[in-house]
Structure 1
Amino acid sequence: MSGRHPAEPWRIKMVERLPVTTRQERQRALRDAGYNISLLRSEDVYIDLYTDSGTNAMSDRQWAALMSGDEAYAGARSFYRFETAVRDHYGYEHVIPTHQGRGAENILSRALIRPGCHIPGNMYFTTTRAHQELNGGTFHDVIIDEAHDPGCEHPFKGNIDLAKLERLIHEVGPEHIPYVSVAATVNMAGGQPISMANLTAVRDLTRRHDIPIILDAARAVENAWFIRQREPGWQDHTVAGVLRELCARTDGATMSAKKDSLANIGGWLGVRDAGLAEQARNLVVLYEGLHTYGGMAGRDMEAVAEGIAESVQEENIRARIDQVAYLGRQLSDAGIPLVHPIGGHAVCVDAAATLPHLPRDEFPAQTLAAALYLDSGVRAAERGTVSAGRDPDTGGNRHPRLELIRLTIPRRVYTQSHMDVVADGVISVYKQRDLLDSGLRFVHEPDVLRFFQARFLPTAPDSILTRPAREP
């Protein structure tokens, strides 16, 4: 079995038809979507790697759990099973359900952030920073420099630079820092983990200044796997045990159960402080639903509770990481510039290195994602200048050092053969990269999270994205 892709630890009981489209049909769909892969209809997408959020395949046990959902408005037994699962696996005493992760981010931000606050973190995430800014805060990136270097092989590129964090604390004062925002893994860096040693050091530093740590735990199980694989002293621990230790070094967490917990909807906010929990429950009633359902149906809470237990099963997480690595190896072997090491939930192609001739304000990653869809029907996600948004002070586009397209692998959905098709599509576009001699410009730009609903047009009338399709 050495060198071969391992078999998945599940068998298929139901299938869903995938749409197979022509290049001409994809060109029409792309034009109708304003050259924004976010606005494509799923019926026009062959292999959808836009996100791993809510796109996972639930197990037979999760589907069975749906049938036991208690839909009582108040005090449903499904909530208490859900609460117990979160406490047992993540360790937070107070559990507030939300409809998904950004609901938890909204509640947390409204509870803790005021105008003039500063929130350090290990690289921004789109919705997290948006909530922080909408409540008057300013995000500060304190991740290690290696995280911004796609080719660097540092095993824990999600680590926080302690010197950067301490410098910020002294500059703005600890009283103006409501919490340190720690992602595990770091999505915008390509799914890169933080080490246990680094988080422990961050905990020691923040404790001296009485600053809480809030974990983005959406993919913390994947982070726990990398700790066990890469960090000395953790090889003999279970993934479940590493997860608990990771969370034990934090004061709370926001969670999108649509990721690691293998559910199609759901989330939670977990905290240790009783006063913050009371405040959060009051806000949940206003924005999400009663504190014992928080925007989820009882059946959703049952599916999440079961998914939490499945997420830490060794064979499940191993197969998940191995599938992502399999795609990464194929692309790396073909010379595609990627973010290294390969992350936990996605393979990220370096669009800036692929299309170095395109100005950043012509959005190389957005252009490359559109070209990939046109060529193969594969939908990826842009994670570059479009996602970064505009600087609130200058009004200009932010230009993050990482200009990526993210091939995000849903859990338990696609087979090895699908990964082969994706690899062929990316390699095909890479070979034609010189033909992508012009990019895209905005024709509609929303004020917040523009990448979801923006519309574009090619900057040149003879763009490869608009040339007449020639079908065989």
Structure 2
Amino acid sequence: MAFMEPFRIKMVAHLADITKEERVEALHRRHYNPLQLSDQEINFDLWTDSGAAAMSHQQWAAMLQAHEGSINPDSFDKFEDTIRSITGFPYVFPVHQGRAAEHLLFSMYSKPGLAIFSNTMYSTGKTLANVLGASQKDLPCKRVRGEFFNGNIDCERLEQELSESDIAIVVLTVTSNHQAGQPVSMANIRRTSEICRRYRIPLFMDGCRFEENAYFIKIREKSYGDMSARAIALEMCSYFDGMYLSAKKDAMCSIGGCFATKLLDLREKFDEMVETFEGRRRYGGMAARDLDAVAIGLTEGIEDRYLKYRIESLSTFGDILKKAGVPIVEPVGSAIYINAARCLPHIPTEQYPAWALHCALYIEGGIRCNYLDDALKFDDSNERENPQPHHFLRICLPRRAYTLSHMLHIGEVFEKLLAKRERISGIRIVQRCIGMSKMLLEPVNASLIDIN
């Protein structure tokens, strides 16, 4: 039996009413870069799940009742109490989004020779480490086909690195974006914590999807099957010195974030840093209404009933795409990763098969997703027997925004495209820019795809 959405729809946003011919013209006008298309030209916007969730009526009601402009907003008390109860961290700081907390944290530890180790760090962390003059190194576990926790950090390599480092911090990203959205096991978290404590190295969590990770532990790590996701999340956090998160993911909000810690010395430093860079201690760059929305979103997001729907919807979406013949990374984690090089084997690597597939998906179904080149830190299955370049598309599923019928329709779009895959042209870059959204491209052939 397919999953059932544990909610009813109270407000709707209409999908774009744009023909295939109009999409061809729009894509040509935007230089074959779907990331430049306007929202009104998109039917299914699957490029990110960040800030794209449908908020609940409780969240909207709380936002309308919040008192703005206060130096001491009551909304902070709810925000603080919620995060304390879910994570166990006593010291909580609001920030305008996750990367702000990341910036403040890394700045505090920044010294000549600082090394930052991670299973895989998000791109903002890598850039920030470089700006601060720190070295950043990812230590992903070796991907094992069928393994449930391919987001783990390689503990053997971590121990070796820490034994050779004078100044270091460790950040575990859960779930791990650049390991195909795969979760991190409690056993790996616990062992990482033990190693860090032995070397007296601080351990932090990038917890943007820590609630989803908790549910993955519940259903994939045998000894946790009878525990609630909330209890699992509390245990996860107990192994860390602190965490930062963007509220645009698990908290199902448009903006916001936080840093939380149990280290008193960090609390004192954050007090000063937040006041300097984010705003006053009790709102940290956030509106009071957003503090309320985050508190309610995190509470709704840690409920087992919701998480069961969330994880099963991702898994079901993956099954729909597999049935359509789409090669995806398995098991499905917090997003769906598609090997575009295997979808379009006739397109050589230098003609960007993932870009070509992305453009074809937009023409055929008005779908926007996210292009990835070789950024994924894992080896795909059967690589030794059948080596393939890693050109991936990532499909994110915004929380509570799309229904099962939408997923079935998207599966049909893929099936239709793959039936005529030989007619999809490769892509060449006309103008390279910093940031993929600014790049200008064109099809190698006269047209990207025969639209009939």
Cα distance change on mapping 1:306 and 1:456 into 2, 3 Å:
same
Matched, 1:127 2:124: yes
Give the whole-Å Cα distance in 2 for the aligned partners of 1:106 and 1:7. 39
Give the whole-Å Cα distance in 1 for the aligned partners of 2:375 and 2:333. 22
- Residue aligned with 2:160, SS: helix
Match of 1:295 in 2: 285
Matched, 1:176 2:164: no
Q: 1:7-406 maps to which residues of 2 (within 5 A)? A: 7-146=4-143, 152-171=145-164, 173=165, 175-177=166-168, 179-344=169-334, 346-385=335-374, 402-406=390-394
Matched, 1:417 2:410: no
Q: 1:434-445 maps to which residues of 2 (within 5 A)? A: 434-441=422-429, 443-445=431-433
Q: Is the 8 A contact 1:378 1:425 kept in 2?
A: no
- Residue aligned with 1:34, SS: coil
Q: Is the 8 A contact 2:349 2:389 kept in 1?
A: no
Matched, 1:426 2:414: yes
- Residue aligned with 1:62, SS: helix
What's the CA shift for 1:361?
A: 4.8
What's the CA shift for 1:240?
A: 0.2
TM-score by length of 2: 0.92
Aligned residues: 442
Q: Is the 8 A contact 2:32 2:440 kept in 1?
A: yes
Please tell me the residue identity of whatever aligns with 2:146: E
- Residue aligned with 1:110, SS: helix
Please tell me the residue identity of whatever aligns with 1:266: G
**CA-to-aligned-CA distance 1:22-73 (integer Å, 9 cap, x gap):** 1222223223333333222111100111111111111111111112212234
Q: Is the 8 A contact 2:179 2:376 kept in 1?
A: no
What's the CA shift for 1:230?
A: 0.8
RMSD across aligned C-alpha pairs, in angstroms?
2.1
Q: Is the 8 A contact 1:357 1:437 kept in 2?
A: no
Cα distance change on mapping 1:401 and 1:75 into 2, 3 Å:
farther
Please tell me the residue identity of whatever aligns with 1:14: M
Cα distance change on mapping 1:433 and 1:113 into 2, 3 Å:
farther
**CA-to-aligned-CA distance 1:276-330 (integer Å, 9 cap, x gap):** 2232332223332222112210001001111111111111111111111111011
| 34-43 vs 430-439, greater mean Cα deviation | 430-439
Please tell me the residue identity of whatever aligns with 1:93: P
5+ long unaligned stretches in structure 1? 389-399
Please tell me the residue identity of whatever aligns with 2:22: E
Q: Is the 8 A contact 1:76 1:298 kept in 2?
A: yes
What's the CA shift for 1:348?
A: 1.3
Give the whole-Å Cα distance in 2 for the aligned partners of 1:426 and 1:242. 37
Q: Is the 8 A contact 1:367 1:440 kept in 2?
A: no
Matched, 1:456 2:447: no
Match of 2:2 in 1: 5
What's the CA shift for 1:358?
A: 4.2
What's the CA shift for 1:347?
A: 1.5
Give the whole-Å Cα distance in 2 for the aligned partners of 1:52 and 1:456. 25
Give the whole-Å Cα distance in 1 for the aligned partners of 2:375 and 2:119. 20
Give the whole-Å Cα distance in 1 for the aligned partners of 2:245 and 2:444. 42
Q: Is the 8 A contact 1:442 1:454 kept in 2?
A: no
Cα distance change on mapping 1:302 and 1:252 into 2, 3 Å:
same
Match of 1:392 in 2: none
What's the CA shift for 1:80?
A: 1.4
| 252-261 vs 108-117, greater mean Cα deviation | 108-117
Cα distance change on mapping 1:157 and 1:34 into 2, 3 Å:
same
5+ long unaligned stretches in structure 2? 378-387
What's the CA shift for 1:357?
A: 4.8
Match of 1:396 in 2: none
